[in-house]
């Protein structure tokens, strides 16, 4: 899941930089090759100003919540779709993953009895088969008046597997695989398989499968608007009129007022 965005330059990461998600001092990092650094971007949506996404941002509510455990390199990528979830669902939490320094706030939330967290991960290995659950576990959590939380490992497949394997504080949590026939519509990075959904697509499908249909529809439209806006900007093409998904988002904004 990599892409080439318009132009490229190299910026070294400071030895002690601050976490993009929390603002806290983070462990030493390695050099990161920033892409698209010379493109004029909107400070609100981080997309090229040519096709700013801000007019189409719509918020929604859901019973389920999302906690994103994000690989540090993902914060620098304007093509990262995890942030779209936070744009739509205000209860979304974002934590940066470091192998040796777990986020203390995440650790505290994992101990909070109000929440029923599930790690979203494939059930393709036998060593954690005893932790795999189905959607009925999410419904059971709701019956128990606990808030279902979907923990998404936000990164490439290789990074996500490393996060899953190298985070002992996640070992006791149930694993919820996403069973879907949906194929990715993401055009900004090349997936290893069309069955590999990007982070926002995973979230939208989880919402739909667990009963948050309205929020799923908003996130799906917002993702499509992002996908189309960014794809057009790559070829320096200005979208002359809103796409169908953009029109639906604008209609929702009008109804909200």
Question: What one-character DSSP code corresponds to residue 18?
Answer: B
pTM flag (> 0.75): yes
Side-chain half-sphere of 138: how many Cα atoms within 13 Å? 23
- Which pLDDT score is estimated for 167? 96
Tokens representing residue 28 in the block:
């030493």
Residues 6+ apart with CB under 8 A from 126: none
- Which pLDDT score is estimated for 39? 77
* DSSP secondary structure letters along 113-127: TTEEEEEE-----GG
Cα 60 from Cα 63, distance rounded (Å): 11
C-beta of residue 34 within 8 angstroms of C-beta of residue 10: yes
Helix (H, G, I), strand (E, B) or coil at 235: coil
Cα 96 from Cα 119, distance rounded (Å): 16
C-beta of residue 66 within 8 angstroms of C-beta of residue 93: yes
- Sheet strands side by side (includes 175-176): 93-96, 65-70, 147-154, 115-120, 175-176
Residues 6+ apart with CB under 8 A from 208: 216
Torsion over CA: 134, 192, 34, 245 (sign) = negative
Q: List 7's β-bridge partners, or say none.
A: none
Q: Which residues of the chain have pLDDT under 50?
A: 1-16, 28-34
- Which pLDDT score is estimated for 56? 97
- Which pLDDT score is estimated for 76? 81
């Amino acid at each position: 899941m990599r892409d080439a965005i318009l132009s490229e330059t190299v910026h070294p990461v400071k030895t002690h930089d601050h976490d993009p998600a929390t603002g806290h001092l983070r462990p030493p990092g390695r050099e990161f090759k920033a892409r698209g650094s010379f493109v004029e971007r909107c400070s609100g949506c981080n997309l090229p100003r040519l096709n700013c996404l801000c007019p189409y941002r719509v918020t929604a509510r859901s019973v389920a919540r999302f906690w994103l455990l994000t690989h540090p390199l993902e914060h620098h990528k304007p093509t990262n779709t995890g942030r779209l979830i936070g744009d739509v669902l205000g209860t979304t939490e974002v934590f940066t993953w470091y192998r040796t320094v777990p986020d203390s706030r995440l650790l505290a939330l994992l101990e909070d009895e109000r929440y029923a967290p599930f790690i979203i991960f494939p059930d393709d290995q036998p060593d954690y088969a005893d932790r795999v659950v189905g959607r009925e576990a999410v419904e059971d959590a709701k019956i128990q008046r606990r808030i279902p939380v979907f923990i998404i490992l936000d990164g490439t497949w290789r990074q996500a597997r490393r996060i899953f394997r190298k985070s002992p504080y996640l070992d006791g949590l149930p694993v919820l695989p996403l069973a879907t026939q949906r194929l990715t519509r993401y055009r900004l990075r090349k997936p290893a398989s069309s069955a590999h959904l990007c982070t926002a697509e995973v979230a939208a499908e989880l919402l739909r499968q667990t009963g948050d249909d309205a929020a799923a529809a908003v996130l799906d439209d917002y993702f499509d608007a992002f996908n189309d806006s960014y794809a057009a900007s790559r070829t320096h093409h200005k979208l002359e009129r809103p796409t169908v998904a953009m029109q639906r988002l604008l209609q929702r904004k009008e109804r909200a007022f």
